[in-house]
Amino acid sequence: MFDESNPQVLVAGAGPVGLFAALNLARRGVRTAVVDTGVWPCKHSYALALHPESVSLLEQAGIAKQVLEGARLVRSVAVCDASGTVAEARLDDLPGSDTPLAVTRQDHLESALEAALKAQGVEVRWRHEVSALTQGDEAVKVVLGRLEKESRGYIVAHTEWVIGKTMEVEAPFVVGADGYNSRVRRAMQIDFPEVGGAEYYAVFECQCAGDGGDQLKLVVGDGTADVMWPLPGNAVRWSFQLTDYADEEAEILKDKLLAAGFGYFPTERAKDRVAGGGDQGMEMLSDEHFRKLLAERAPWFKGEIEGIRWRTVVRFERRLAQSFGQGRMWLAGDSAHLTGPAGIQSMNAGLAEAADLSGELAAVVMQGAPAAGLEAYSARWQATWRKLHQVGGAASAKPGAPELIHSNAARLVSCLPANAKHIGVLAGRLGIRI
């Protein structure tokens, strides 16, 4: 048993997508439980921005005010090259939304979602690992392990997290919002193939004298797509695509997984490093390399960098699950798709998926609606992500669009800060036809 009764929906994963799915379910009266292997909410992340559509969803859930406190509002996006701006478009007047894009910390978003969920009587059960799932005709049997600290070692002691207690829960439905190595997806044996090559980025967050502005910069070069985000507190984040770098360990692991028949299993996403060491990844993160990238790719940037407060090399994969679920188990967020960092599409589409899926599940659980709506959910988001990934049909430039748009239309689609509802409109404003 899980407290007094088993949940009607168990959500695996307490990132933004899982918390938002749970909140939408709880607000509809669905008995919901949330589990996560983490000890507390995320403190640093690559996803840092909420699309206008996501801000509207948070408004509908009644938590936009809390989330937007201290956020940096971004009102337009510019496509640039080394010479400067080539095309730009507004973000604060998209159809059905009069809100700008908002830049905020992921832990701030998660804390607001967790507080709203607690107000609905649902507390996240941290340190709970989904060990096994068995789907039946009426429910899913879920084996959970509670993680506890254990000291090991004789001469030199160290502490590890181990499973201290297991329990079995039955829930009519399970939502897998448990990230790119999703246990829920793997339990369904849903393939998670690559739809494009992996991309490496050097990411730098910097204090910047003066005002960083209210415009997102997408900088397109020869085989590169870089991005500059204004951050709260007179800071910026630069993400530079690295065409001459690869993490050998990650690539070897990927090859081993493929050889073993695990092509659907993503490799490790990132390794945090501190510049100054001997390997190439650290060289990519040096102050000298950062300023070299700025001078080569964005010489027009006039912000005075006062210090780099965080830096990392990140490996981003492009993947799409062959289905968003089946029967009584369904996926949302990174468990179903991965993409590059420029447009923060995966998290924002995940929030829209969470709202969509929670509505379909509530209709089945509370109103006895047919499960066909869940199959329709999967089809809708498969189609959306095929468009975002440009699978089976490349975008093209509109007549009269700048040459930079003509030669980069398809890859710019995955860089835009929009997903299902606004991607076509925003692309059109920049001269791209999807």
Proportion of the chain above pLDDT 90, given as a percent? 75
CA-based nearest residue to 101, from 430, 352, 416, 356: 416
* Same domain, residue pair 206 and 174: no
| Residue range of the domain that includes 258 | 198-318
* Same domain, residue pair 182 and 225: no
* Same domain, residue pair 313 and 324: no
For the residues 73-95, what does the mean pLDDT come to? 96
The residue type of 290 is F
| pLDDT for residue 403 is more than 60 | yes
For residue 157, is it within any domain? yes
pLDDT of amino acid 154 = 46
pLDDT of amino acid 148 = 75
* Same domain, residue pair 59 and 145: yes
| pLDDT for residue 71 is more than 50 | yes
Number of domains within the chain: 2
pLDDT of amino acid 431 = 97
CA-based nearest residue to 9, from 127, 146, 176: 176
* Same domain, residue pair 297 and 309: yes
* Same domain, residue pair 244 and 272: yes
* Same domain, residue pair 153 and 43: yes
pTM of the entire structure?
A: 0.90
Token digits for 172? 């009519």
For the residues 271-277, what does the mean pLDDT come to? 38
For residue 86, is it within any domain? no
* Same domain, residue pair 350 and 290: no
Which residue, of 298, 318, 338, is where some domain finishes?
A: 318
Token look-up 């492009």 returns 318
Q: How far is CA 311 from CA 45, 50, 238, 371, in A?
A: 11, 22, 10, 45
For the residues 356-379, what does the mean pLDDT come to? 97
* Same domain, residue pair 17 and 60: yes
| pLDDT for residue 54 is more than 80 | yes
Q: What is the pLDDT of residues 171-213, one digit of tens each?
A: 999 999 999 999 999 999 999 999 998 999 999 999 988 766 8
* Same domain, residue pair 301 and 373: no
For residue 57, is it within any domain? yes
For the residues 352-380, what does the mean pLDDT come to? 97
Token digits for 219? 């900088």
Mean pLDDT computed over every residue of the chain? 88
For residue 78, is it within any domain? no
For the residues 19-45, what does the mean pLDDT come to? 86
* Same domain, residue pair 33 and 103: yes
For residue 82, is it within any domain? no
Which residue, of 302, 318, 334, is where some domain finishes?
A: 318
pLDDT bracket for residue 96 (50, 70, 90): confident
For residue 79, is it within any domain? no
Task: Round to whole Å and give the CA distance between 434 and 416.
Answer: 12
Gyration radius from the chain CA atoms:
22
For the residues 258-268, what does the mean pLDDT come to? 50
| pLDDT for residue 124 is more than 80 | yes
Lowest mean pLDDT among 130-144, 192-206, 264-278: 264-278
Which residue, of 318, 333, 357, is where some domain finishes?
A: 318
For residue 242, is it within any domain? yes
* Same domain, residue pair 279 and 349: no
| pLDDT for residue 227 is more than 50 | yes
pLDDT of amino acid 48 = 86
Residue 120 makes CB contacts below 8 A (sequence gap 6+) with 23, 26, 27
For the residues 60-67, what does the mean pLDDT come to? 95
| Greater pLDDT, 98 or 179 | 179
Supply the CATH number for residue 396's domain.
Answer: 3.50.50.60
Lowest mean pLDDT among 130-134, 174-178, 179-183, 266-270: 266-270
pLDDT bracket for residue 283 (50, 70, 90): confident
| pLDDT for residue 279 is more than 80 | no
pLDDT of amino acid 249 = 61
| pLDDT for residue 277 is more than 50 | no
Task: Round to whole Å and give the CA distance between 180 and 339.
Answer: 11
pLDDT bracket for residue 153 (50, 70, 90): very low
Query: What does the buried/exposed string (b/e) look like for 7-44 if buried means 16 or more CB atoms within 10 Å of the residue's CB?
Result: bbbbbbbbbbbbbbbbbbbbbbebbbbbbbbbeebbee
For residue 3, is it within any domain? no
